[in-house]
């Protein structure tokens, strides 16, 4: 009887080979490009690329903290959506239990939103 | 919430990763597991209590006085304790005994109830402490109390989890709440730093933990502790010790637990976080969070992996010895009292690890007794630190305690009792805590560990003496130069201190009842019922 | 057989738990003090002394009620404490602990009266009373854990007494004292548990911490017993203190306030020697016999070392402290001679040392209060300005040297006699210590009291009435025991003989020689004990 563990490891071997090949491919492509391309350095070429416009200010500029809150809220509801879509496809199977369950889930998330709203986080100061 | 738990347990309980079934036209209803609401009541009270508080607080902001939050939190935690009492009677009943709820996801036994009560006691004391603290620091809002209740529910779920996934769920509920609590004092830079550090290292350790669960699942084919236990005890399971998968799982789980309970060498976060976090939160971390972590550790290692104890015991032995020695030695070179107690709590974790290491029923009972006693000692100690910390929560140097005995003899005396208890002086709870742990080690003929533990207790005693020296024995010349004023002791904090102190002393004189409870609180792995 | 008698115990017809009262009264007093107003210094002192005297009076009543012929534990009181672990509140006295309890009952009130704390009197007296409760408890506890609990708890009051009311380097001394003693006893807890659990598994009976049951069962193997004995002996050796672990003692004694030094010397050091007898010899006769040469050597080294170092001291209090190291050495060789004379001498010498060294510390305290120095070189000619003080000092010092007619002689003589019989060469060297004691004490006396006083020494106040009254009972006891030791020895002897018989029964190659000297030749009402001791 084959050892189940060895079977498992054999499957991982495929993954390892695949990963190794992938790395080799990337290395080969970059290496070929490095060998073939002409090399003519100019100062312009070393400037950060900002959609073709000349960059302004330092590289480590701070972004508004306000965006952070919105990014967070977005992630929150994004995750919610990720849960709700598969749930919706199977709602019939889950029945009333599933409905209540999702209601609880949405309630808790909505509570978070209410909290943020009452706390004044949503105001664009 | 509950359904999620149930779902997870059911899916994983079968031990197979079921690929999504193809969607069919004729839908068959999915059988939902039976839910024993009574068994869930303590957890439910905490969770719903927390959510309700958040709702009320969101809607009626600034219209509810602060003390109402404190009373509410105390009431909810007390309610959870009361809900746990009938369960205790039921599981101690010889005919009915321990049982498992929601398709084997949660185990209800004396052990889980004992830990639930400890955690709720920690919540009550912390809430009392937080009351005056929030007022003094001008932090408005009930967030701390909400998080406190949610964290407690995470801890109780950890203690009752009968499935590694549910355990992880509890761990995350607990951890994430505490990350935020650590950063609660947003105006203090160190508090933010503490929150950040705790979050990053905690998330790291959670990843280790999860990977450990994955490896154990890979080796045993289940995340349900009963199935794992049965599989490991079966002939196929025994062979597993020779391959790395299971042992790797043990190792990673131990790393995860090591982080949570702050055992050396996974302790590096503890001093900074304990020092930086708001002091009531530190009290909660040292008491309830530790209790939850150790509860899960005992259930997973001593119980589930009990048949493989020869494989993990040496590692836990090393963790215990390192925690005992490093914790106590590093504690005595600190000058910040909060930091001192952070290191001393590492040494205390070492003591509890001794109870884990012996892997016997006595060891488990000893660890439980230790956790119960330590909860009161450490919350009481941090209560004094909270009060002495003054506005800004920053006066934690040894020099801030200079002459305290002259200015506030009662406060100093209470702190002395609590410190002596931590040092393990007789007629305090700390003595019997150490006594039971040592007796469990001696009973398992683990003399070396017992001796190391006692030596570390003596080293740690020096640390408590240093604080007492500051309070009582500062020379007159020091007293003249810049002696701080009296510090006010808020009523609620005073109650917490009183309770902690009285319990510490009473257990020191009459340890019998708690001993009997701890002996009855043996964990069981219960078949899916 | 004595063992059966010991196991049975007796309550002597006293209608109430006498020993529990002796232990609990001072603790109650401390609680009462805590409720009194801080400012009323005289009231605080009065209450403290009253409680101490009440407990002391009960101990003297116990002495009167003590059944001389009975060699077992008397006044036994026993209640379950922690049932699941077989731990009980088990108290009792026999001839070995009887006089230590009485000594505590005498010395604590005297120390309290003699004390004059400068600040925070309330805490001072409360700690003193707690210390009294702890020491009393340690002497009467017959449950291993209960003994350990009392043995440990006395550290806390003593720590605060030295650290808060001591002199110059008090914090260092207090901390050193606490950590040294705690380190010693930490391993004893492991030893106790190992003994209890091994005995339980070997005999197949339930776990018990009962001293008598454990001692009679002798339920651990030879090697294990020796290891466990080491863990016990370390705790007691630190407390005694024996030679290499004695370094905490001079610091603690010197820096402690007078009352603290008195109690430390008179009572707390005895916990170590008492422990060797009660919990070393009784529990581990074989191991004690096996290790006896080591402890005899350490005792002799202590005698010589203590004496030599005492001779070189410039601080009067430190000199007395080092003299304790030497005197305790006599007790240790008496005990480890393992025969009736040595043990009797050891027990008696514990009491004697408590009386004479306690008195010496009080006298040094009096001198310090007057001159605010303990430097021998700054004192001189005190005999002229304070003749009564000098007279009392002379009596006490002579008792400490061991001059016949005073109590020190009887104890030292018996100890040395026992040593000569049991361990001849050690005895021979130890005798040298008697001479050395005369050297350092007489020389110190000469420097402090002789000559012509100058400056402040000339204006030294003599003993006041209060101070004189403090010294009266001490000097009285010193002379009484020196002249007529029979009543004391008669009470010690039965228990010691029973102990020797116990050792004889459990050690194979143990030889008890013919008794060549009986301290109680005439009217010996319990001759059968001698026969028991004399059998092989």
pLDDT means per 10 residues in chain C (536 residues)? 42 74 91 85 87 92 84 85 86 90 92 84 90 93 92 92 87 90 89 91 86 86 90 91 88 89 91 91 89 91 91 89 90 89 91 91 89 84 85 91 88 88 84 87 87 79 86 91 89 88 81 53 44 38
d(CA C170, CA C159): 10
State residue B348's pLDDT score. Answer: 94
Chain B CB contacts of C82 under 8 Å are: 511-512, 515
State residue B284's pLDDT score. Answer: 94
d(CA C236, CA C138): 13
Whether C528 contacts C494, CB under 8 Å: no
Count how many domains chain B has.
1
**ipTM surpasses cut 0.90:** no
The CA R_g of chain A, rounded to the nearest whole Å, is: 26
d(CA B491, CA C95): 54
Whether C140 contacts C97, CB under 8 Å: yes
Nearest beta carbon to residue C156 from set B425, B511, B519? B425
- Domain assignment present for residue B2? The answer is no
With a CB cutoff of 8 Å and minimum separation 6, the contacts of B300 are B164, B167, B225, B253, B257
State residue B135's pLDDT score. Answer: 87
d(CA C258, CA C313): 19
d(CA B366, CA B519): 8
d(CA C531, CA A56): 110
| Token digits of residue B516 | 């009997």
State residue B476's pLDDT score. Answer: 56
User: Which chains are adjacent to chain A, needing at least 3 Cβ pairs under 8 Å?
Assistant: B
Residue B485's pLDDT band, with cuts at 50, 70 and 90, is: confident
Among B206, B453, B461, which residue's Cα sits nearest to residue B352?
A: B453
- The whole-number average pLDDT for the span B275-287 is 93
- The whole-number average pLDDT for the span B502-514 is 91
Whether C475 contacts C392, CB under 8 Å: yes
Tell me whether residues C179 and B462 touch, CB distance under 8 A: yes
Residue B480 has pLDDT above 70, yes or no: no
State residue B484's pLDDT score. Answer: 64
Q: Which residue reads 């002249």 in tokens?
A: C483
- The whole-number average pLDDT for the span B103-125 is 90
The CATH code of the domain at A4-119 is: 1.20.58
Q: Please state, as a whole number, how many other Cβ atoms lie within 10 Å of the Cβ of residue C436.
A: 19
d(CA C521, CA B439): 49
- Domain assignment present for residue B25? The answer is no
Kindly give the interhelix angle for B164-182 and B143-160, rounded to the nearest 10 degrees: 160
Return the residue in B6, B10, B16, B29 with the most chain A beta carbons within 10 A, the one to mutate for interface testing. B29
Whether C272 contacts C241, CB under 8 Å: yes
3-state secondary structure C313-371: CCEHHHHHHHHHHHHHHHHHHHHHCCCHHHHHHHHHHHHHHHHHHHHHHHHHHHHHHHH
Strand pairing partners for C78?
C90
The C-alpha angle C229, C235, C239, rounded to 5 degrees, equals 135
With a CB cutoff of 8 Å and minimum separation 6, the contacts of C443 are C311
Decide: helix, strand or coil at residue B514. helix
Ramachandran sector of residue A51 (left: φ over 0; alpha: ψ -120 to 50; beta: rest)? left
- Domain assignment present for residue B228? The answer is yes
Write out the residues of chain B at the interface with chain C, using a CB-CB cutoff of 8 A: 409, 420, 425-427, 431, 434-435, 438-439, 442-443, 447, 450-451, 454-455, 457-458, 461-462, 465, 468-469, 472-473, 511-512, 515-516, 519
Burial class (CB within 10 angstroms; exposed 0-12, middle 13-18, buried 19+) of B361: middle
Whether C93 contacts C101, CB under 8 Å: yes
Residue B453 has pLDDT above 60, yes or no: yes
Chains C and A touch (3+ CB pairs under 8 A): no
d(CA C174, CA C177): 5
Among C101, C91, C119, C112, which residue's Cα sits nearest to residue C49?
A: C112
- Domain assignment present for residue B19? The answer is no
Residue of B nearest to A108 (CA): B51
Q: Which residue reads 């009564």 in tokens?
A: C388
CA distances, C510 to each of C96, C275, C289, C397, C535 (Å): 22, 22, 8, 38, 11
Residue of C nearest to B426 (CA): C149
Q: Residues of chain A whose pLDDT is less than 50?
A: 1
Torsions phi, psi for C365 (to 5 deg): -60, -40
Residue B450 has pLDDT above 90, yes or no: yes
- The whole-number average pLDDT for the span B438-460 is 92
Least confident of A59-68, B214-223, B268-277, C133-142: A59-68
- Domain assignment present for residue B8? The answer is no
Write out the residues of chain C at the interface with chain B, using a CB-CB cutoff of 8 A: 81-85, 123, 145, 148-150, 152-153, 155-156, 159-160, 163-164, 170-171, 174-175, 178-179, 182-183, 186-187, 189-190, 193-194, 197
With a CB cutoff of 8 Å and minimum separation 6, the contacts of B190 are B275, B276
Nearest beta carbon to residue B472 from set C145, C164, C187? C164
State residue B148's pLDDT score. Answer: 94
Tell me whether residues B515 and C85 touch, CB distance under 8 A: yes
Whether B328 contacts B461, CB under 8 Å: no
Residue of B nearest to A114 (CA): B58
Residue B523's pLDDT band, with cuts at 50, 70 and 90, is: confident
Of the two residues B525 and B193, the one the predictor is more confident about is: B193
Query: Is the alpha carbon torsion for B231, B236, B240, B242 positive or negative?
Result: positive
Chain B CB contacts of C190 under 8 Å are: 438, 442, 447, 450-451, 454
Kindly give the interhelix angle for C387-401 and C340-371, rounded to the nearest 10 degrees: 150
CA distances, C236 to each of A33, C41, C210 (Å): 83, 37, 19
Least confident of A47-56, B143-152, B198-207, C282-291: A47-56
State residue B166's pLDDT score. Answer: 93
> Which pTM does this prediction carry?
0.87
Decide: helix, strand or coil at residue C227. helix
d(CA C476, CA C423): 34
Q: B193: domain range? A: 35-520
The C-alpha angle C525, C531, C532, rounded to 5 degrees, equals 105
């Amino acid at each position: 009887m084959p050892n189940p563990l060895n079977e498992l490891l054999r499957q991982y071997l495929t993954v390892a080979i695949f990963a190794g090949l992938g790395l080799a491919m990337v290395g080969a492509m970059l290496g070929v490009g490095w060998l073939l391309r002409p090399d003519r350095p100019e100062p312009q070429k070393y400037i950060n690329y900002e959609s073709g416009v000349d960059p302004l200010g330092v590289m480590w500029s701070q972004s508004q903290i306000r965006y952070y809150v919105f990014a967070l809220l977005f992630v929150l509801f994004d995750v919610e959506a990720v849960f709700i879509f598969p749930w919706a496809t199977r709602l019939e199977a889950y029945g009333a239990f599933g409905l209540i369950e999702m209601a609880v889930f949405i309630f808790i998330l909505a509570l978070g939103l209410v909290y943020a709203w009452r706390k004044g986080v949503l105001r664009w100061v | 919430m509950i359904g999620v738990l149930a779902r997870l347990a059911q899916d994983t309980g079968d031990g197979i990763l079921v690929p999504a079934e193809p969607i069919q036209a004729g839908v068959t209803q999915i059988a939902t597991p039976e839910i024993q609401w009574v068994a869930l009541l303590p957890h439910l009270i905490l969770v719903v209590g927390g959510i309700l508080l958040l709702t009320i607080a969101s809607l009626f902001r600034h219209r509810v006085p602060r003390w109402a939050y404190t009373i509410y939190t105390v009431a909810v935690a007390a309610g959870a304790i009361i809900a746990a009492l009938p369960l205790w009677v039921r599981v101690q009943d010889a005919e009915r005994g321990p049982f498992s709820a929601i398709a084997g996801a949660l185990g209800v036994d004396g052990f889980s109830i004992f830990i639930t009560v400890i955690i709720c006691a920690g919540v009550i004391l912390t809430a009392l402490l937080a009351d005056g603290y929030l007022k003094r620091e001008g932090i408005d809002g009930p967030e701390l109390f909400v998080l406190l209740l949610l964290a407690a529910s995470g801890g109780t779920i950890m203690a009752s989890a009968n499935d590694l996934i549910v355990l992880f769920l509890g761990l995350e509920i607990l951890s994430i709440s505490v990350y935020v609590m650590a950063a609660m004092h947003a105006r203090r830079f160190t508090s933010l730093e503490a929150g950040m550090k705790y979050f990053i290292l905690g998330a790291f350790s959670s990843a280790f933990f999860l990977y450990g669960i994955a490896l154990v699942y890979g080796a045993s084919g289940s995340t349900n502790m009963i199935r794992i236990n049965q599989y490991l005890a079966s002939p196929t399971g025994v062979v597993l010790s020779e391959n790395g998968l299971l042992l790797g799982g043990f190792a990673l789980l131990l790393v995860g637990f090591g982080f949570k309970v702050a055992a050396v060498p996974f302790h590096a976060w503890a001093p900074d976080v304990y020092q930086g976090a708001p002091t009531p939160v530190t009290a909660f971390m040292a008491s309830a969070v530790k209790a939850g972590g150790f509860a899960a550790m005992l259930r997973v290692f001593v119980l589930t992996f009990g048949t493989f104890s020869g494989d993990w015991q040496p590692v836990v032995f090393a963790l215990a010895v390192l925690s005992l020695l490093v914790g106590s030695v590093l504690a005595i070179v600190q000058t910040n009292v909060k930091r001192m107690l952070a290191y001393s709590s590492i040494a205390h974790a070492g003591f509890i690890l001794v109870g884990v290491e012996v892997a016997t029923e006595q060891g488990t009972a000893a660890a439980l007794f230790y956790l119960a006693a330590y909860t009161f000692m450490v919350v009481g100690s941090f209560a004094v630190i909270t009060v002495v910390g003054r506005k800004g929560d920053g006066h934690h140097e040894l020099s801030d305690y200079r002459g305290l005995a002259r200015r506030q003899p009662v406060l100093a005396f209470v702190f002395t009792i609590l410190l002596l208890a931590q040092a393990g002086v007789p007629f305090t709870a700390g003595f019997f805590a150490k006594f039971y742990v040592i007796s469990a080690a001696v009973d398992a003929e683990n003399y070396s560990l017992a001796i190391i533990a006692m030596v570390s207790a003596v080293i740690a005693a020096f640390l408590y003496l240093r604080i007492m020296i500051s309070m009582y024995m500062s020379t007159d010349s020091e007293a003249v130069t810049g002696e701080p004023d009296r510090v006010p002791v808020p009523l609620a904090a005073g109650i917490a201190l009183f309770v902690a102190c009285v319990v510490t002393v009473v257990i020191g004189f009459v340890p019998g009842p708690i001993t009997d409870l701890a002996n009855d609180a043996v964990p069981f792995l219960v078949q899916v019922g | 057989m004595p063992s059966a008698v010991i196991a049975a115990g007796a309550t002597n017809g006293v209608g109430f738990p006498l020993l529990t009262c002796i232990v609990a009264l001072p603790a109650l007093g401390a609680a009462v003090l805590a409720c009194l107003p801080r400012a009323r210094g005289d009231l605080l002192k009065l209450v403290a002394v009253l409680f101490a005297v009440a407990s002391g009076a009960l101990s003297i009543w116990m002495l009167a009620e003590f059944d001389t012929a009975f060699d077992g534990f008397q006044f036994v009181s026993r209640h379950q404490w922690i049932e699941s672990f077989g731990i009980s509140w088990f108290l009792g006295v026999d001839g070995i602990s009887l006089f230590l309890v009485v000594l505590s009952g005498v010395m604590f009130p005297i120390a309290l009266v003699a004390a004059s704390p400068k600040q925070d009197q309330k805490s001072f007296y409360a700690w003193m009373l707690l210390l009294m409760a702890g020491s009393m408890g340690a002497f009467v506890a017959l449950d291993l854990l209960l003994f350990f609990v009392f043995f440990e708890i006395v550290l806390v009051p003593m720590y605060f007494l030295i650290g808060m009311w001591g002199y110059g380097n008090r914090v260092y001394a207090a901390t050193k004292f606490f950590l040294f003693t705690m380190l010693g006893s930490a391993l004893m807890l492991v030893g106790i548990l190992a003994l209890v659990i091994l005995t339980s598994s070997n005999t197949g009976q339930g776990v018990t911490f009962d001293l008598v049951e454990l001692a009679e069962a002798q339920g651990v193997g030879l090697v294990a017993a020796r290891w466990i004995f080491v863990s016990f002996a370390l705790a007691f050796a630190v407390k005694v203190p024996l030679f290499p672990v004695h370094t905490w003692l001079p610091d603690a004694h010197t820096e402690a306030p007078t009352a603290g030094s008195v109690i430390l010397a008179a009572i707390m050091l005895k916990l170590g020697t008492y422990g060797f007898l009660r919990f070393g010899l009784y529990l581990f006769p074989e191991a004690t016999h096996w290790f006896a040469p080591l402890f005899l050597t350490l005792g002799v080294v202590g005698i010589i070392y203590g004496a030599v170092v005492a001779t070189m001291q410039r601080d009067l209090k430190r000199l007395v402290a080092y003299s304790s190291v030497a005197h305790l050495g006599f007790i240790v060789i008496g005990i480890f001679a393992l025969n009736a004379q040595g043990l009797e001498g050891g027990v008696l010498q514990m009491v004697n040392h408590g009386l004479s060294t306690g008195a010496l510390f009080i006298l040094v305290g009096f001198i310090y209060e007057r001159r605010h120095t303990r430097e021998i070189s700054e004192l001189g000619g005190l005999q002229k300005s304070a003749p009564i003080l000098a007279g009392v000092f002379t009596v006490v010092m002579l008792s400490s040297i061991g001059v016949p007619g005073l109590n020190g002689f009887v104890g030292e003589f018996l100890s040395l006699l026992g040593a000569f019989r049991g361990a001849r060469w050690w005895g021979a060297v130890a005798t040298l210590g008697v001479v050395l004691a005369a050297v350092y004490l007489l020389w110190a006396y000469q420097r402090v009291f002789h000559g012509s006083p100058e400056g402040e020494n000339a204006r030294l106040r003599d003993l006041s009435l209060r101070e004189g009254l403090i010294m009266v009972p001490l000097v009285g006891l010193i002379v009484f025991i020196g002249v007529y030791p029979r009543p004391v020895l008669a009470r010690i002897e039965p228990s010691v003989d029973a102990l020797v018989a116990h050792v004889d029964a459990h050690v194979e190659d143990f030889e008890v020689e013919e008794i060549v000297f009986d301290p109680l030749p005439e009217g010996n009402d319990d001759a059968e004990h001698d026969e028991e001791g004399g059998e092989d």
